[in-house]
Structure 1
Amino acid sequence: MIKEILNEINAIERFLKNHKRYLGEEYVKYQTTLNELRLKVKLKEIENNVRDALKLKSDGEYLKARNLLKKSSNDIDKLEDEMINLKIKTFNSQITNLKNQINNELNLIKNLLLGEDSSINAPYNSSSVNSSNPINQSFSGENELLNKLNELLSKYQNPIKIGEGGFSYVFKAIKNGKTVAIKVPKELTETTGEIFLREIGNWKKLKHINIVQLYYSNIYPYPYIEMEYCEKELNKIKNNLELKEAVLLFFEVLNGLKYAHSKGIIHKDLKPHNILIKNNIPKITDWGLSKEITSKSTTINALTLQYSAPEQISRETIDKRTDIYQMGIILYELTTKKLPFNGNEFDIIYSIKNEMPPKPSELNPLIDEKLEYIILKCIQKDKSKRYQSVEELQKDLSEYLNIQLTTNLTASKTNKDFSRSIFYCADLVLFHLLNNDLGDALNYLYDLKYYADKNCSEEIINSVDNLIKAIEYRIEEGIKEPSDEIKIKAKIVVNKVKMRF
């Protein structure tokens, strides 16, 4: 097949060379045909590699099959980029089907390598990479499903694909003048259907400023979730955060997780990719693998291995402490800029089960003994040695942050470095609001107003005054927690004071 296509390419190239000056505008059309044929050759080579990988899998050569599939995945990404650059859409359906098949086969092989009983070692079938095969097809490969998806997206303005996960695609779109995100399953199978319904069921119970808000969901004309759009992803900014900034953000995420746990829901798949940021406020998303605490089902399918807890690897019972372990891995990464466990899958699995990672302070000397203790306690192998609740974790983290920020503020005042004092004072306002300490937040806000009066515009000074009045009112009324509106307003106001607007 490839030889026949190459012969066809050579014939067209000879024709173009001999007749270029006579072809005029037709020359461009022939060049397009030539580009399509070249892409077709590359696609066929990838399909052959996938076919070879399936044969290796059938023979029990799982690692070789996995490596060949990963190579095929990289090759198909490059091919897709070429198609975009050349503005060729001819092979969209085939590429989508092949990408889905590669991802599914990689998951199956991963399960086989991990000893998952639920994995099926399907017999080798040379037709399985054919785009007409209904197995593993996504909506892009089925006209009926594609039409339904288009019908759904037609309800919105300017839908643009902005991301994808193991089971779904995410689009950014506009509805009634408001930017929203739309999540749809990649394919319609029993597994994706179960995950999708579970996600909707649990997500509907969660309404918190640190959890991405679900606006609406339906299964017609195509299953979808309409949700809050967030402009940033922690995974993309994690290496740019300073230590203090990272720990404050982490503390804020814990508020959302604490709320979910109070509703009897554990996430099971916490990682920077699943923490989004809107208006500088972090929000947990992707509740597709979450489950109610009363549920006994557990699986490691679709989890990101490096963030998986030992009990997830060993298929033991999971609970709130599993989420705490995953948050500990995130805190380790945010503060050291490295993941605790690396290497191939077998090395990572062995390390998660049996080894403690390098001490965080060895990777970042700014991490003191208290913060290191907190990080390492989160990621203990034995669940009973971890923090037993988010509240317990936040208590230690609160003490650490309070000491760090007040010490820095005092030092800056002593050194008369008032530009730094503004920053530390602003951070203390936000920290105490996050910690529901309205009285302490108000005291530092009074100090911040003193700095604002000397350095900021009248507009910002008025904003600080309004924030003070809002907090004073809640204290007078005996309300113990700041409203979401106050938290949002506080972030905006204190950041402007920092920038001396």
Structure 2
Amino acid sequence: MNPRLTRADFKLVMLLGLGKTAQVYLARAPDGREVALKLPRKEVRTNPRQARMFAQEVLLSLGLTHPNLVRGLAGKPYGEDAFLALEYFAEGSLQQRLAQGPLEVGEGLGYIQQVAQALIYLHNRGIVHQDVKPANVFISGTVAKLGDFGVAKTPNDTHPFERAGSPYYMAPELFKGEAATPAADAYSLGVLAYELFSGRRPFECESYDALITAHLTQPPPPLTGVDRPLAQAILGLLAKHPRDRLSLTEFVQVLKGESPSPTPKDEQPTTPRPSLLRRLFRRKP
């Protein structure tokens, strides 16, 4: 698609959704392709912080290339005619898929592994997504793609955003005001995986304060319906302290039935891995 396309080049077909910062339409590109057209609200375009967030989403969507990231097709980051044209997914997101009930293990594993690979790609480039959740994972058949980079933390971010993310999926350290790291994305993926296989999040609370307390202090309820190694691996992502969590590379290796490679030096935990991981990764004779 021609990157020089403007907002006026797209024909609106129907409204897909209204978000806090943007309206999303099903639109048709000049070549006839259906796209998701994201238009920032007026108050977003005139608010410096929110305008930066939208611009970041445009630039990252157009600049990042990975088979499991939603692809940006055209866009303009700033101005009255700011917009972002994205791949359109007729099947919607994992949130819509979850409305039908928990996923079969094989289906869920495929999606989780793809999202993990997308996050590893981001982390290798110094980017922390900060908002991993079912509503931001879009599906087409057996393919899953992670989208929405509005609150992502980037290496060159001179205007750090406030604590970002969706409370049900946020890592404990973020509630304590600590900086987001790849380990925080790993925790969010753990919540997502738990939800895919159980049909519920590990912590469902009636108040925000109760939810914070649960993330900080309570172990998740046992995860049933999947074999023990998979359940243990998901719980390994949900460790309360970042240094005790599985890295996403290790998690993917577990999903593939492999023993993990040594953790890279810059990811080494400051304390020994818990005995859970030693049991999980022990090779069979």
Query: What is residue 206 of structure 1 aligned with on the other side?
Result: 64
Larger radius of gyration: 1
Aligned counterpart for 2:153 among listed residues 291, 297, 301: 291
Contact kept? 2:61, 2:70, Cα under 8 Å? no
- One-letter amino acid matched to 2:148: D
1:373 aligns with 2:232: yes
> How far apart, in 2, do the equivalents of 1:180 and 1:377 lie?
37
Moved over 6 A (4+): none
Residue in 2 that maps onto 1:359: 222
**Other-structure match for 2:11:** 157
CA contact (8 A) 1:299 1:315 kept: no
Q: Determine which structure has the larger strand proportion and give its number.
A: 2
1:327 aligns with 2:189: yes
Hey, what does 1:184 align to over in structure 2? 39
Q: Would you say 1:386 and 2:250 are equivalent positions?
A: no
Match of residue 82, structure 2, among 223, 231, 250: 223
For residues 341-387 of structure 1, the C-alpha deviation after alignment (integer angstroms, 9 at most, x for no partner) is 11111110111111111111xxx2x3222111101110111000001
> C-alpha distance in 1, partners of 2:126/2:59?
12
Give runs of aligned pairs for residues 55-74 of structure 1, distance below 5 A: none
Distance 1:220 1:347, change over 3 A: closer
Contact 1:202–1:291 (Cα < 8 Å) also in 2: no
Say whether the 8 Å CA contact 1:374–1:396 is kept in structure 2. yes
Letter in 2 for 1:347: A
1:329-348: CA deviation from partner (whole Å, max 9, x where unpaired): 00010111111111111110
Partner of 1:236: 96
Task: Give distance in 2, aligned partners of 1:153 and 1:198.
Answer: 17
Query: Equivalent residue for 1:167?
Result: 21
If each structure's helix is expressed as a fraction of its own residues, which one has the higher value? 1
What corresponds to 1:339 in structure 2? 201
What is the SS of the residue equivalent to 1:266? coil
- CA shift, 1:200, in A, is 2.4
Cα offsets for 1:95-154 (capped at 9, x unmatched): xxxxxxxxxxxxxxxxxxxxxxxxxxxxxxxxxxxxxxxxxxxxxxxxxxxxxxxxx765
Distance (Å, rounded) in 2 between the aligned partners of 1:194 and 1:226: 17
Deviation per CA, 1:439-458, whole angstroms, max 9, x where unpaired? xxxxxxxxxxxxxxxxxxxx
Q: Does 1:318 align with 2:180?
A: yes
Cα pair 2:12 2:25 within 8 Å, conserved = no
SS in 1 for 2:189: helix
Q: Which letter does structure 1 place at the counterpart of 2:35? A: V
Task: State the SS of the aligned residue for 2:162.
Answer: coil
Structure 2 gaps, min length 5: 1-5, 259-285
User: What are the Cα deviations for residues 211-237 of structure 1, in whole angstroms up to 9, with x where unaligned?
Assistant: 110111113552111111111211011
Q: Counterparts of 1:267-306 in structure 2 under 5 Å?
A: 267-293=129-155, 295=157, 297=160, 299-301=162-164, 303-306=165-168
CA contact (8 A) 1:275 1:284 kept: yes
**Structure 1: gaps of 5 or more residues:** 1-151, 401-501
| Structure with greater contact order relative to length (CA < 8 Å, sep ≥ 6) | 2
In 2, Cα distance between equivalents of 1:278 and 1:368: 26
Distance 1:208 1:278 in 2: 15
User: In structure 1, how many angstroms separate the alpha carbons of the residues matched to 2:110 and 2:179?
Assistant: 31
The one-letter amino acid paired with 1:157 is K
Measured on the aligned residues, the alpha-carbon RMSD in Å equals 1.9
Name the CA distance, whole Å, in 2 between partners of 1:385 and 1:293.
Answer: 24
Query: 1:313: Cα distance to partner?
Result: 1.2
User: Does 2:189 align with 1:349?
Assistant: no
Amino acid corresponding to residue 242 of structure 1 in structure 2: E
Aligned residues: 243
In 1, Cα distance between equivalents of 2:156 and 2:256: 30
Q: Provide the secondary structure at the position in 1 that maps to 2:256.
A: helix
CA drift of 1:254 comes to 1.5
Alpha-carbon distance in structure 2 between the residues aligned to 1:275 and 1:196: 18
Distance 1:393 1:293 in 2: 24
Distance change >3 Å, CA 261–CA 210, structure 1 → 2: same
Share of identical aligned residues, percent?
Answer: 26
Give, in whole Å, the separation in 2 of the partners of 1:157 and 1:182: 10
Residue deviations 1:462-485 (CA, integer Å, cap 9, x gap) = xxxxxxxxxxxxxxxxxxxxxxxx
